[in-house]
C-alpha cells in the first residue's frame, strides 16, 4: 500500500505570526528546500500584481510599476538540521521552532508584504532563496547573481536576517591567512642542533598583541576591524624540535576596503613571513546616503548600527547594491535548539516595512 502526503501550502491571508508558524512547520533543512519553495512559488503566482520567476529552489517575485527606485527584500528558506525543535509552538509572546528566528519570521514578513502591498511607492523585488546555511557553492542568492543578475538589479537591498528588529548596515569582510615559520628538526635533548619553528612564532603573536584596530567611519557608522590568531599548529613529537609552525589569523575588515586591499594590509603587517590566503569574503558598504536607505531608516525610526559579522548583504554589495540587515529575532538564538522569535518583533518589522513601501516622499517614491 502506497501512502501519500499532501504537499504543503501557504495561506498568505494569515497574519505574519501564523504565517511564520506555517513556514516553520514545513521542514526545509539545507538542500531539502523543494517543498517549501514549491509552496512559496504557488502562493506568489496566485498574486496578479507580481511577476514570478523560479531558479532551482529560489523564488523571485517582482513588481513592475515604473517607479523611480527598485529595492530588494530577501530571505533564505533553509534551516540547519532538526534538533527536536519541530513543529512550531506558541508560548506566550514567543513563537518557538526551528527557523523561527533564522529566518522564517523574516520570510513571513516578506510574503505578507508581497501579498498585501500591491501599489508600493518604489518597485520591489522579493527574493526567497535556498542553501544559505551551508557551503557557498550551493547558496541560491550567489547562484542567482551568477545566472540572472538582472533579477537582482536594485538601488538598495534589505536582507531579513535576525537583528532584533534593528538596522545593521552593511557588513565587514573577512579573510583568513596562514602565517608560517620554518626551522630544522632535532632531538630535543640536543636542541641546539635544530631550529625551533614554534619559538619563531612568538614574533607573530607579539605583532598581533601590538595591533591597533582601524576604526573607520562610513556613512556615520564606526566599524571596528580585528586581527586575531584563531589557531596555532605545530609540533612533531614530545622529543623533537619542530621544523614548522602555522599561526592561522582571521582579519575582519571594514567595508571601505576591498579583499585585495585587506590582504595587502595583512601581507605588509606580517612582512618577512610566508603568508598563505585560505579564505576570503568581501564586506558590504551600508549605502545610507542613498535616498531609499534614508527613507527606510526614517520609517523604522531606530538607531542604525554597523554589522560586524558577515552576511549575504555582501553579495548585494558585489553587485553594486548597498544593503542592510533588518529582521525579527535575536541572532544569538540562531541554530540553537531553543530558537524562538518574539511575535511583537515580527509584527513591528512588517508594520515598519509596510510604512516604508507605501509612504510617498524621500527616495523618489510615487507622490
Res 317: pLDDT? 82
Separation CA 108–CA 90 (nearest Å): 16
> Residue 327 phi/psi, 5° resolution?
-165, 165
Q: Among candidates 280, 170, 180, 264, which has minimal Cα distance to 220?
A: 170
Q: What is the pLDDT of residues 88-147, one digit of tens each?
A: 999 999 999 999 999 999 999 999 999 999 999 999 999 999 999 888 889 999 999 999
Residues 6+ apart with CB under 8 A from 254: 172, 173, 214, 216, 218, 223, 225, 283
| Averaged pLDDT, 336-358 | 95
Instruction: Calculate mean pLDDT across residues 252-278.
Output: 96
Residue 3 pLDDT level (bands cut at 50, 70, 90)? very low
- How far is CA 213 from each of CA 2, 109, 171, 251, 261, rounded to the nearest angstrom? 63, 37, 16, 10, 15
| Higher-scoring residue by pLDDT: 285, 208 | 208
Give the per-residue pLDDT at 4: 57
Q: What is the mean pLDDT of residues 156-164?
A: 93
Tell me the average pLDDT across 315-332: 88
Average pLDDT of the chain is 92
Q: What is the mean pLDDT of residues 309-322?
A: 84
Q: Which one of the listed residues 38, 41, 78, 133 is annotated catalytic? A: 78
Nearest residue to 265 (alpha-carbon basis) of 219, 192, 332, 213: 213
Burial (CB count within 10 angstroms: exposed 0-12, middle 13-18, buried 19+), residue 137: exposed
C-alpha neighbours within 13 Å on the C-beta side of residue 248: 9
Bigger pLDDT: 190 or 6?
A: 190
Strand 70-76 relative to strand 156-159, pairing: parallel
Q: Give the integer Cα–Cα distance in Å for 209 and 24.
A: 45
The pTM (predicted TM-score) of the whole model is: 0.82
What grid cell was written down for 200?
619563531
Whether pLDDT at 303 is above 80? no
Catalytic residue among 132, 155, 243, 312: 132
pLDDT of residue 291: 80
> Is the pLDDT at 363 greater than 50, yes or no?
no
Set of cell numbers at residue 64: 513592475
Min mean pLDDT across 228-232, 269-273, 361-365 is at 361-365
Is 11 an active-site residue?
A: no
pLDDT at 320 over 90: no
pLDDT over 70 for what percent of the chain? Answer: 97
Three-class DSSP category at 240: strand
State pLDDT tens for residues 161-207. 999 999 998 889 999 999 999 999 999 999 999 999 999 999 999 99
1: pLDDT confidence band, cut at 50, 70 and 90? very low
Q: In what order do the strands lie in the sheet with 94-96?
A: 89-91, 94-96, 340-342
pLDDT in tens, 58-71: 999 999 999 999 99
- pLDDT at position 232: 97
pLDDT at residue 302 greater than cutoff 90: no
Measured N-to-C along each axis, helices 105-116 and 343-358 cross at an angle, to the nearest 10 degrees, of 40
Name the pLDDT band for 226 (thresholds 50, 70, 90).
Answer: very high
Which grid cell sits at 251?
582579519
User: Would residue 38 show up in a list of annotated catalytic residues for this protein?
Assistant: no
What is the rounded distance in angstroms from the CA atom of residue 310 to the CA atom of residue 161? 11
Amino acid at each position: 500500500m502506497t501512502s501519500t502526503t499532501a504537499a504543503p501550502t501557504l495561506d498568505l491571508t494569515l497574519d505574519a505570526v501564523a504565517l511564520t508558524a506555517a513556514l516553520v512547520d514545513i521542514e526545509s533543512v539545507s538542500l531539502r528546500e523543494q517543498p517549501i519553495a514549491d509552496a512559496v512559488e504557488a502562493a506568489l503566482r496566485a498574486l496578479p500584481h507580481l511577476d514570478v520567476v523560479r531558479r532551482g529552489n529560489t523564488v523571485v517575485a517582482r513588481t513592475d510599476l515604473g517607479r523611480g527606485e527598485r529595492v530588494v527584500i530577501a530571505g533564505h528558506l533553509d534551516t540547519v538540521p532538526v534538533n527536536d525543535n519541530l513543529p512550531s509552538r506558541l508560548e506566550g509572546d514567543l513563537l518557538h521552532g526551528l527557523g523561527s528566528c533564522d529566518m522564517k519570521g523574516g520570510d513571513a514578513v516578506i510574503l505578507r508584504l508581497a501579498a498585501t502591498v500591491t501599489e508600493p511607492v518604489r518597485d520591489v523585488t522579493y527574493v526567497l532563496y535556498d542553501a544559505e546555511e551551508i557551503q557557498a557553492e550551493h547558496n541560491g542568492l550567489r547562484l542567482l547573481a551568477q545566472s540572472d543578475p538582472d533579477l537582482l538589479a536594485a538601488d538598495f537591498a534589505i536582507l531579513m536576517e535576525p537583528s532584533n528588529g534593528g538596522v545593521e548596515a552593511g557588513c565587514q569582510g573577512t579573510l583568513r591567512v596562514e602565517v608560517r615559520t620554518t626551522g630544522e628538526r632535532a632531538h630535543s635533548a640536543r636542541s641546539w642542533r635544530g631550529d625551533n619553528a614554534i619559538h619563531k612564532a612568538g614574533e607573530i603573536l607579539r605583532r598581533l598583541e601590538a595591533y591597533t584596530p582601524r576604526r573607520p567611519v562610513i556613512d556615520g557608522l564606526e566599524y571596528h576591524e580585528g586581527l586575531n590568531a584563531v589557531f596555532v599548529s605545530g609540533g612533531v613529537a614530545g622529543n623533537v624540535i619542530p621544523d614548522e609552525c602555522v599561526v592561522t589569523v582571521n582579519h575582519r575588515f571594514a567595508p571601505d576596503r576591498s579583499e585585495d586591499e585587506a590582504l595587502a594590509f595583512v601581507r605588509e603587517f606580517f612582512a618577512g613571513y610566508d603568508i598563505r590566503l585560505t579564505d576570503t569574503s568581501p564586506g558590504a558598504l551600508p549605502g545610507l546616503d542613498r535616498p531609499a536607505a534614508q527613507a527606510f531608516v526614517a520609517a523604522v525610526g531606530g538607531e542604525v548600527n554597523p554589522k560586524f559579522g558577515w552576511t549575504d548583504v555582501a553579495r548585494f554589495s558585489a553587485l553594486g547594491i548597498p544593503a542592510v540587515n533588518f529582521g525579527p529575532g535575536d541572532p544569538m538564538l540562531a541554530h540553537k535548539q531553543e530558537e524562538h522569535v518574539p511575535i511583537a518583533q515580527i509584527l513591528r518589522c512588517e508594520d515598519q516595512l509596510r510604512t516604508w513601501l507605501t509612504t510617498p516622499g524621500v527616495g523618489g517614491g510615487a507622490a
